[in-house]
Amino acid sequence: MSNWPLKTKLSIDLSTPGHHGYSFPKADVPQAPAPGKNCRSTKINLPELSELSCVRHFTRLSQQNFSIDAGMYPLGSCTMKYNPRVNEVTASHRGFTRLHPRTPAKYSQGALKLMFELENLLSEISGFSRISLQPAAGAQGEYLGIKMMRACLTDRGETRNKIIIPESAHGTNGASAAMCGYDVLPLRSNEYGLVDFAQLDELTKSGDVAGLMITNPNTLGLFETEIQKICKLIHDRGGLVYLDGANLNAMMGITRPGDAGVDCMHFNMHKTFTTPHGGGGPGCGGLGVSKTLIPYLPTPTVEKIPSGDDEYVLVENEEKSVGKIKDYYGHFLMMVRAYTYIRELGARGVKKVGEDAVLLANFIRKDLEGHYDIPFPKTCMHEVVLTDKFQVKNGVKTLDIAKRLIDEGFHPPTTYFPLIVSGALMIEPTETESLNMVEEFCNTMKLIAKEASEEDAFEKHFKDRPRHMAYARVNETLAARQLKLTWKDLK
């Protein structure tokens, strides 16, 4: 990352009155009289920069960012795979970008067809009967799933208020359940890190559980072998099963969650299907549903006209639908990217994604054995969880290992998650990394383990990391205490 001398200036501090970086058509109609009482009286304190100043400012900012394009992100459960550039080209076509969402169907057939076909592709990959592309991101997909489950149970005349969520689950699970008005019943894992079936049996005996939210493979990277049995138990007790699809990458072309009896699963297009993370969003969610939940799909849905000749239309689904959770149809321009990606892969490519992701993670598992504590060492899917147990004895913690990696050119893995393992380091290489790169990562991790075993390890190797980047350790405590959130606060 670069060391520009001007890097820390805010755009407002680079401002010169009268400068600007825009160019738009002048109005060729007579000027309207000034607004009366609603007129803005205060000048907006925005920067005034020429185009070159704008470009330079943001270019220098970009050079302070780590990115997939620049290096590896072994972030567990994030699936930071390469974002193909061909997706950016297809998503920037005028027919997609300048299309208004309420354009009549006859003038937006390409968009409707793409959505319809994408739903079919996802359906085939995941094994679910229907897909909704409306959710803006994974968390919204979760919310939609729970909402639809609730609608289904209400339709059956049930008023169950509890949802079971494993302690290993992602934080959004509990938050989404709460937004739908459910109380959360936590579920422990068994000694293998999997769902404790006996405890699940106990919890559901009362008959007032609406359902289970489960992640598969779970957040330890382990496939829930008993998934069918679990779904059957929940169904027999009158509930429904939601699957957190964050780890779908491990299953691509290998197994289909819909086949196991799951009622709904959210997609993270920005994980499995390469839509770019963009520094934190936009995501692109999606929800796959079983036949049971089809009537409750949000409105509108894209349908193919049966009599027509490759013609598509949006249909308002009023009757039992849960309604709308997102304006319009979802993040369409992200759908274009996901669609492009899946069409490039084909069936063989999809299968190779799953296989390669699992193979590379297992390479890491075997290679780091003995160097790091691996709580569940026998196997893993697309990600492996380590802990700092060996290193902590010598005063080196997970956080220190993470920050140490930065100076070696790697983004840290996921840390301190899942919460059920102390000092967790969750590593997911993804299949777009070459074995060379994965080996380099492992060698770096082994070097760090060696450093951590030396005398005075923390002082010598881990203190004040990163040491070689343009920025040293950022003071997060100060940020939370002083709460300066706009440049006005800096005056």
**Window 445-464: residues binding other proteins (CB under 8 A):** 464
Q: How far is the CB of 251 from other proteins (least distance, A)?
A: 9
Asked if 207 is part of the footprint of other proteins (rule: CB under 8 A), the reply reads no
Q: Is the dihedral of CA 444, 446, 449, 453 positive or negative?
A: negative
Q: How many CB atoms lie within 10 A of CB 171?
A: 10
Q: Which residues ranging from 211 to 230 are in contact with other proteins (CB under 8 A)?
A: 222-225, 227-228
Cα of first residue to Cα of last residue in the chain, in angstroms, is 29
CB of 201 to other proteins, least distance (A): 20
Residue selected from 6, 92, 206, 395 as contacting other proteins according to rule CB under 8 A: 92
Decide: is 393 part of the binding site for other proteins (CB under 8 A).
no
- Of residues 266 and 454, the one with the C-beta less far from other proteins: 266
Q: Binding to other proteins by residue 280, rule CB under 8 A?
A: yes
Measured from the CB atom, the residue of 237 and 411 that comes closer to other proteins is 411
As given in the structure block, the two tokens for residue 385 are 């969880």
Contact 268, 243 (CB under 8 A): no
Residue 458 to residues 267, 394, 407, 416, 426: CA-CA distances in angstroms?
41, 8, 15, 19, 22
Contact 299, 328 (CB under 8 A): no
Draw the binding track, 121-160, toward other proteins (x: CB under 8 A; -: no contact).
x--xx----------xxxxx-xx---x--x----------
Options 195-203, 442-450, 451-459, 472-480: segment touching other proteins (CB under 8 A): 472-480
Q: How far is CA 423 from CA 172, 216, 223, 277, 396, in A?
A: 21, 22, 22, 26, 11
For tokens 């429904």, name the residue: 240
Please report whether residue 281 would count as binding other proteins according to CB under 8 A: yes
Shortest distance, position 236 Cβ to other proteins, whole Å: 19
CA dist., res. 116 & res. 302, Å (int): 6
Which residue lies nearer to other proteins by CB, 198 or 474?
474
Does position 470 interact with other proteins (CB under 8 A)? The reply is yes
Site track for other proteins across 420-449, x = CB under 8 A: -----------xxxxx--------------
Residues in 318-337 at the binding interface with other proteins, rule: CB under 8 A: 322-334, 336
CB 425, CB 413: distance < 8 Å: yes
Under rule CB under 8 A, residue 114 binds other proteins: yes
Subset of residues 49 to 68 that bind other proteins, contact rule: CB under 8 A: 49, 51, 54-55, 57-59, 61-68
401 binds other proteins (CB under 8 A): no
Point out which span in 74-82, 204-212, 236-244, 383-391 binds other proteins (CB under 8 A). Answer: 74-82
> CA nearest 249: which of 82, 438, 42?
82
Stretch that binds other proteins, among 93-101, 234-242, 388-396, 445-453 (CB under 8 A): 93-101
CA neighbor of 287 nearest in space, from 250, 328, 318, 257: 257
Is the Cβ–Cβ distance between 414 and 78 less than 8 Å? yes
Strands 130-132 and 287-289: antiparallel
Site for other proteins in 240-279 (CB under 8 A): 253-256, 259-260, 276-279
Q: Indicate whether 372 belongs to the interface with other proteins (CB under 8 A).
A: no
Q: 418: which residues sit within 8 A by CB, 6+ positions away? A: 167, 168, 169, 219, 220, 385, 424, 426
Q: Is 63 exposed, middle or buried (0-12, 13-18, 19+ CB in 10 A)?
A: middle
User: Which residue among 164, 406, 420, 442 contacts other proteins (CB under 8 A)?
Assistant: 406
What is the size of the binding site for other proteins (CB under 8 A)? 211
- Among 184, 294, 392, 447, which residue sits at the site for other proteins (rule: CB under 8 A)? 184
Separation CA 369–CA 377 (nearest Å): 8
